[in-house]
Amino acid sequence: MTSRYRSSTSADVPSERPDSLSPRRRTVVKAAAATVVLAGPLAAALPARAAAETPAFLHGLASGDPLPDGILLWTRVTPAAEATPGSGLGPDTEVSWVVATDRALTNVVNKGSTTATAASDHTVKADIRGLQPATDYYFRFSAGGARTPVARTRTAPAADAAVTGLRFGVVSCANWEAGYFSSYRHLAARGDLDAWLHLGDYIYEYGTGQYGARGAVVRQTSPTHEILTLADYRTRHGLYKTDPDLQALHVKAPVIAIWDDHEFANDTWSGGAENHTEGAEGAWSARQAAAKQAYFEWMPVRPAIAGTTYRRLRFGKLADLSLLDLRSFRSQQVKVGNGTVDDPDRTITGRAQLDWLKAGLKGSDTTWRLVGNSVMISPFVIGSLSADLFKPLAKLLGLPQDGLGLNTDQWDGYTDDRRELLAHLRANAIRNTVFLTGDIHMAWANDVPVDAGTYPLSASAATEFVVTSVTSDNLDDIVKVPEGTLTAIASPVIRAANRHVHFVDTDRHGYGVLDITAERAQMDYYVLSDRTKADATSSWARSYRTRSGTQKVERTYDPV
C-alpha cells in the first residue's frame, strides 16, 4: 500500500498545569464490562481455540500516536484461562515484539520484550523510536507459543517535509449493544489511510438493555451492570477489543484517539457526571481515576499532561492536529435558559488547555490546523422547529422539550470559551482551522461563525466537519421511523435556523474520510446499510470541503 502522507514532529505535549450531545442517557445505556470470559455472551466473540491455548492474544494488537521517528504499539496477552480482563489474575508473562520494514518481518529494525502483569491488566505498550519518517512498518507480538497477526503501521512525516496529501478515517460513538462495527471493517478495507481518528465514545458505560438499537439489544454487553470500578472498565475495554471489525482496523493503520463522556459516564464534567450518583455509585474521583487508568492501559495513546488526552501531533508542513480533552477540566453543565452559559468563569477546556490551544494555533506554520474536538463547537439553535420534530430532537440532544434550542453539554453551554477562541482566530488572522467532531450521532458540515445571529453577513472563523455515530442511536432511531424520513423534513428547517450549517444528516450511521491537500480539506461521508447486520454494506453519501483561505464549507460531488 502506498500512503499519501509525507511527515510529523514529535507530539507537542503541553507543559502547563490545566486547571454531548446525546440524550440524557442514564435511562438509556449503562454498559458494563466483561470480555474474555469464556462463557455467556462473550463466548461467541472469542476465537474457538482460545480456551485451549495459553498464553493467547484474544484482543488483537494496535498502534497509535504516530511521530516522525516513532510509534506506540499495544497488545494484551491472556496468560491463563482465569486471566480475564479486570480479573486481577494470571501470572507474569514475557511478551516480545518485532518491528520490520516488510510484512514478512525479515528486515527487522526493532525488537524487544517486556513483562505483562496483572497490575496493568496484562496489557503491553512499546513506544518504539529511531524509525524513519513517513514509512510503513510491520509488527507482531509473541508470548510462549502464541503470536499475534502481523499489523501495519506508519510513522508521521518529518516536521519540515513537503507533504502532498493526508488521508484519515474519522469515527465516533460505537455502542456495542446497538449493532456491529461495520464502519471499522469498511475503513480497514480501504488500504489508503495514513491513520484514523477516534473522536470519543470508543466504549459505553451503561448496563445491558439500556441503550441499544431503537430500544433493542443487538448483541449483549457484559457484565450486565453499569461499569463503575477499575475491574469493570477494564473488562468493558476488553469486550470491545474482541470485535473483529475493530481488530481489523487496528491491524491496518495507527489510531489517534481522544475520549469523550462515555469512556467515563454520560455528560461527564470535572467533578461528576449526569450518569453518576455520588455515594450510591462510589466517589466520582475514584470512578474517574479508574476510567482513565483503564483507558490508558487499553488504548495505544500516550498520556499528556495530568493524565489527559490533549496533545498535538504534526504531519509535515501540511497539517498539525491539536487533540482536546473536553471532559477533565470543564465546569458542570447548566440548565438551558438560566443565562449562565455566558458566565466567563465557566469553562469547557480549562484555562491552561485553552491557552495551549490558542498558542498552538497562532504559532503553527502548517497549511492546515486541525482540531480533534469531541463535542460540536458550531452554534445550534432549534427553537423554530415544529413540535413533532423538536421533541425527539430535544431528547437526543438532552434539551428541555419545551425550552430553548441549546445543548449545554457542547460549546453552546460554554460560550465565553468559544468567543475567546474564535476572536483569537480572527484577531491573529489564523486561517485554515478545521474542527473534527463526533458525539452528536449525526453528520454535519458547518462554517463556524463569529456571530451566528448576523451570519453570513459577519465572518466565519473556521470550519467544522462532524461525523455520525458508528452505531449509537440518532434521530430516526429515537422516533422509530424508517431511516431518512426525518432528515428529509428536519434538515431544511435546521439549516434555515442555522445559516452556517451546510449539511446535516440526522438519521444514518457510518464514518468519514478526511482528505487533505494544500488546496483543500475534504470530508467524504459514508453511511451503512444496516448497523444491526454484521455484513452491512457501506456507500458514499455526501462530500464537503473547505478551500484554503476561505473559512467556509462548500459541497463537492467528487469523493476521493
Residue owning grid cell 442555522: 498
Q: What is the mean pLDDT of residues 453-459?
A: 90
Whole-angstrom distance, CA of residue 75 vs CA of residue 432: 36
* pLDDT given at position 18: 31
**Is it the case that residue 264 has pLDDT exceeding 90?**
yes
**Is it the case that residue 307 has pLDDT exceeding 60?**
yes
With 0-12 / 13-18 / 19 or more C-beta atoms within 10 angstroms meaning exposed / middle / buried, residue 119 is exposed
Tell which phi-psi region holds residue 215, choosing left (phi > 0), alpha (psi between -120 and 50) or beta.
left
Whole-angstrom distance, CA of residue 154 vs CA of residue 480: 42
Q: What is the mean pLDDT of residues 341-370?
A: 96
* pLDDT given at position 394: 58
- Domain residue ranges of the chain, discontinuous segments joined by +: 25-556
Q: What is the mean pLDDT of residues 345-359?
A: 97
**Is it the case that residue 360 has pLDDT exceeding 90?**
yes
* pLDDT given at position 481: 87
Whole-angstrom distance, CA of residue 396 vs CA of residue 355: 32
* pLDDT given at position 427: 98
Q: What is the mean pLDDT of residues 41-62?
A: 64
Whole-angstrom distance, CA of residue 51 vs CA of residue 350: 47
* pLDDT given at position 52: 44
Reported confidence tier of residue 222, pLDDT bands at 50, 70, 90: confident
Could you give the 3-state DSSP secondary structure of residue 518?
coil
**Are 91 and 80 in contact, with CB atoms under 8 Å apart?**
yes
Show contacts of 288-293: CB within 8 Å, 24+ apart: 288/264, 290/228, 290/229, 290/230, 290/232, 290/233, 291/233, 291/263, 291/264, 291/265, 293/230, 293/233
* pLDDT given at position 453: 81
* pLDDT given at position 552: 98
CATH topology of domain 25-556: Purple Acid Phosphatase; chain A, domain 2 (3.60.21)
Whole-angstrom distance, CA of residue 17 vs CA of residue 6: 33
**Is it the case that residue 39 has pLDDT exceeding 50?**
no
Measured CA to CA in angstroms, residue 224 lies from 23, 30, 287 at distances of: 21, 8, 18
* pLDDT given at position 38: 26
Q: What is the mean pLDDT of residues 84-110?
A: 98
Q: What is the mean pLDDT of residues 527-541?
A: 97
Share of the chain above pLDDT 90, in %: 75
* Residue 459 burial (CB count, 10 A): 17
Lowest mean pLDDT among 84-88, 197-201, 479-483, 526-530: 479-483
Q: What is the mean pLDDT of residues 490-495?
A: 88
* pLDDT given at position 484: 83
pLDDT averaged over the chain? 88
Reported confidence tier of residue 36, pLDDT bands at 50, 70, 90: very low
Which residue spans within 331-451 are E strands per DSSP? 368-373, 433-437, 443-449
Q: Pick the closest to residue 514 from 154, 66, 166, 156 (CA basis).
A: 166
Kindly state the cell numbers that stand for 82.
Answer: 482465569
Could you give the 3-state DSSP secondary structure of residue 126?
strand
What backbone phi and psi angles, to 5 degrees, belong to 554? -140, 150
Q: What's the DSSP call for residue 214?
A: T
* pLDDT given at position 280: 95
**Is it the case that residue 134 has pLDDT exceeding 70?**
yes
**Is it the case that residue 152 has pLDDT exceeding 50?**
yes
Share of the chain above pLDDT 70, in %: 85
Reported confidence tier of residue 426, pLDDT bands at 50, 70, 90: very high
Reported confidence tier of residue 50, pLDDT bands at 50, 70, 90: very low
Lowest mean pLDDT among 29-38, 171-180, 414-423, 517-526: 29-38
**Are 160 and 366 in contact, with CB atoms under 8 Å apart?**
no
* pLDDT given at position 480: 86
**Is it the case that residue 42 has pLDDT exceeding 50?**
no
**Is it the case that residue 21 has pLDDT exceeding 60?**
no
* pLDDT given at position 198: 98
- Does 223 sit behind a cis peptide bond, omega within 30 degrees of 0 on the bond before it? yes
What backbone phi and psi angles, to 5 degrees, belong to 348? -100, -25
Q: What is the mean pLDDT of residues 303-311?
A: 84
* pLDDT given at position 489: 87
pTM over 0.85: yes
- Residues 6 or more apart whose CB falls under 8 angstroms from that of 481 comprise none
* pLDDT given at position 335: 78
Reported confidence tier of residue 40, pLDDT bands at 50, 70, 90: very low
Q: What is the mean pLDDT of residues 27-52?
A: 34
* pLDDT given at position 336: 67
